[in-house]
Amino acid sequence: MPGGRVARVAIDSPLPQLDQLFDYAVPDALAERAVRGAAVRVPLRSGGRLARGWIVELADESDFDGRLSEIDEVTTLVPVLAPEVWALARRVADRAAGSASDVLRLAIPSRYVRAEKAWVKEHPPGAEPPAAPAATDAPGEPDALDRAVAERARIALQALPGVATLSAGATVGRWAVTLATAAAHVLARGETTVVAVPDHRDLAQLEHALRDVVPEERITRVDAGQTGAARYRGFLDCLDGTARVIIGNRSAVYAPATRLGLIALWDDGDPLFAEPLSPGVHARDAALVRQEQSGAALVFAAHARSTEVQRLVGLGWCRQVEPERLARPHVVVDEAGSDPGTARIPSAAWRAARDASRAGPVLLQVARPGYAAALACARCGSPATCAACGGGLEQRGPRAAPTCRVCGTHANGFRCAECEGDRLRMVSIGSERTAEELGRAFPGTRVIVSDGERPLTEVGPEPALVIATRGAEPVAAGGYRAVLLLDGERMLLREALRVSEDCVRWWADAAALAADDAPVHLVGVRGRIATALATWQLARWAEEELAARRELRFPPAVRVATVTARGPVLERPVAEVRALGEGVDVLGPVPVDDGLERVVVRMDYGRAQAVAASLRASMIRVATERRRPVQGQPVRRPPTLRVRFDDQEAFG
């Protein structure tokens, strides 16, 4: 009988009280297939009810006093939960006061039986693992980055701005070539690389760049952008080492890579790396844990340094690496004109755009999609509101009548509630309106719009005005001949802790799309933030930003956790967290919707483990203790305690 007779099973359930290993007896009939890592179905609390789970380990005996139930069924032909992925999920969940099985849901894609059967046929058990393949092209002499990766360092990489043209003719950001080359060097040592990028457009660039230096069959995508079967197949390829360069979105950091040599994140400041699903672990944090557990190298590559990575640099936890060839975009800081109606684009920028648009594509970055998302009284400037419901008015197209954003009522015959003025002015100009304006000003030049809803990945080298909302800028063949960063002032107005950090990232990423020597105009923004971009001192800027947050005890200078529940339920968990003493403080509670209240717990990093453990214990207690009926209401709603660590929205 191979292995032991007891299987320790992690149950697939979000309930905190079930987030532990349960022992089951392995019946003789399943002994061969009940291997460590297999997915199983097991009875949970008396017959009939079956839960999904994974065998985490096999043992000869159990510590459990009662009688063990038997595993009902083994549902996979191959072990899908690698031991190191389990260790990662456990640790990452503990750090966030969450369930390991919630993390495993990101790590293990849903099963496709046909894909699995086909895969097993091609990879019979016991077969030799695939030999380390050679790189397509010699990856070239190792540079500073490759040497640091070979030393298994943790690296904050200042990416080289600009674009590169690949052998197949495609244009990608230079960052993609840098990371692809690093992966090729890791591959040449017979090791695996995992690269996580924010979105599918970045993924396309990276995949293109990789194909120049790595055999195609070694590149494996693990993102959700493909069919479920293809995704599952890619996942299986990771498990047995067929995959050597694994690329994907934020979940790729959980891919079951064998012989992991490098884990890399491109542009870690992008909010898409923040996992919305519970327990909401940021891919950067998961990557850090994985680095620690695996001993692989870790690279955070970006143009704009995030405050989180800068904190790690400050601690000496990450080493800074700069490109051997130093380059920076030519950023010009333009004052916006004084007349807000006509001088949205100041004359210097206007001239630059006009001249450049004769030679090739020009990028104009704007804050918003659509036409005019907000209107104001032309006389007194107060926001225009709907006479019927008081909602804000918008204009959806050049000829469209103003309508209410809330109720859709057409606001014919507008009359200002403040001053009785009857004329409207656009205050929030979107990409469509900008396109219209510029189309008139540059007759005969093609105008292309790329926004969040319909983002373009690439535009050609032909003259064109490319109007893109921030974050949706296409890559231009050969690079943009000029880049105009409009609406900066408006972007900075947003009320959030990370606005300026986000703005610097949006601007830097757009500026990095310019051709070498092409001008980048930052319009209407002055002060330190403009200087930081113009001098491309983005790490120093992050350091200053971090220092300001340290002063205020804001993240990432400290860790934060939001705790949400009905007021009375909140009391004891908060008291217990407060009792942890020094280095932990609690803000609030403040009422949020639905009769719930929320506190923000702030803690020094050294206390985070204790806080997470305390909050986790509270979650279990609240979930299992007797549910008290709500006073006056017969409704029996289970009391809940929601805990979220490192919530990006904790400080607005």
Rule CB under 7 A: is residue 626 a binding residue for DNA?
yes
Give the three-class secondary structure for 447.
Answer: strand
User: Which tokens is 403 given?
Assistant: 């309508």
Cα torsion at 259, 253, 299, 488 (round to 10°)? Answer: 160
Q: With CB under 7 A as the contact rule, which of the stretches 59-67, 110-118, 366-374, 463-471 interacts with DNA?
A: 59-67
The residue within the footprint of DNA, chosen from 3, 43, 392, 583 (CB under 7 A), is 43
CB–CB of 513/479 below 8 Å? yes
User: Which tokens is 493 given?
Assistant: 């107005």
- Alpha-carbon gap, residue 186 to 261, rounded angstroms: 6
Residues 141-160, mask of contacts with DNA (x by CB under 7 A): --------------------
The residue within the footprint of DNA, chosen from 1, 2, 46, 594 (CB under 7 A), is 46
Residues facing 484 on adjacent strands: 364, 521
The residue within the footprint of DNA, chosen from 10, 12, 19, 24 (CB under 7 A), is 24
CB of 82 to DNA, least distance (A): 23
Rule CB under 7 A: is residue 64 a binding residue for DNA?
yes
- Alpha-carbon gap, residue 480 to 459, rounded angstroms: 10
- Alpha-carbon gap, residue 73 to 30, rounded angstroms: 8
- Alpha-carbon gap, residue 530 to 18, rounded angstroms: 51
Residues 200-239, mask of contacts with DNA (x by CB under 7 A): ----------------------------------------
Residues 451-490, mask of contacts with DNA (x by CB under 7 A): ----------------------------------------
| Cβ nearer to DNA, comparing 85 with 619 | 619
User: Which tokens is 17 given?
Assistant: 């009280």
| Cβ nearer to DNA, comparing 62 with 614 | 62
Residues 167-186, mask of contacts with DNA (x by CB under 7 A): --------------------
Rule CB under 7 A: is residue 54 a binding residue for DNA?
no
The residue within the footprint of DNA, chosen from 48, 124, 413, 581 (CB under 7 A), is 48
- Alpha-carbon gap, residue 149 to 263, rounded angstroms: 10
CB of 276 to DNA, least distance (A): 20
Q: With CB under 7 A as the contact rule, which of the stretches 13-21, 114-122, 164-172, 566-574 interacts with DNA?
A: 13-21
The residue within the footprint of DNA, chosen from 629, 630, 642, 649 (CB under 7 A), is 629
Q: With CB under 7 A as the contact rule, which of the stretches 139-147, 329-337, 545-553, 621-629 interacts with DNA?
A: 621-629
Rule CB under 7 A: is residue 594 a binding residue for DNA?
no
Which residues, at least 6 apart from 625, have a Cβ–Cβ distance to it below 8 Å?
Answer: none
Using left for φ > 0, alpha for ψ between -120 and 50, and beta otherwise, residue 3 falls in left
CB of 255 to DNA, least distance (A): 30
| Cβ nearer to DNA, comparing 68 with 580 | 68
| Cβ nearer to DNA, comparing 418 with 625 | 625
Rule CB under 7 A: is residue 618 a binding residue for DNA?
no
- Alpha-carbon gap, residue 192 to 603, rounded angstroms: 36
CB of 557 to DNA, least distance (A): 35
CB–CB of 62/263 below 8 Å? no
Q: Is the peptide bond before 346 cis (omega within 30 degrees of 0)?
A: no
441-to-143, 367, 473, 484, 524 alpha-carbon distances in Å: 47, 20, 22, 15, 20
Rule CB under 7 A: is residue 45 a binding residue for DNA?
yes
CB of 8 to DNA, least distance (A): 8
The residue within the footprint of DNA, chosen from 3, 4, 23, 406 (CB under 7 A), is 23
Strand-pair category, 171-173 with 163-165: antiparallel
Rule CB under 7 A: is residue 58 a binding residue for DNA?
no
Residues 632-651, mask of contacts with DNA (x by CB under 7 A): ----x-x-------------
CB of 632 to DNA, least distance (A): 14
CB–CB of 239/258 below 8 Å? yes
Rule CB under 7 A: is residue 50 a binding residue for DNA?
no
Angle between helices 200-211 and 174-188 (to 10 degrees): 50
CB of 15 to DNA, least distance (A): 5
CB–CB of 432/442 below 8 Å? no
Rule CB under 7 A: is residue 625 a binding residue for DNA?
yes
CB–CB of 87/57 below 8 Å? no
CB–CB of 416/382 below 8 Å? yes
Q: Buried (b) or exposed (e) across 448-487, using 16+ Cβ within 10 A?
A: bbbbeeebbbbbebebbbbbbbbbbbbbbbbbbbbbbbbb
Residues that bind DNA (CB under 7 A): 15, 17-18, 22-25, 42-46, 48-49, 62, 64, 66, 68-69, 623-629, 636, 638
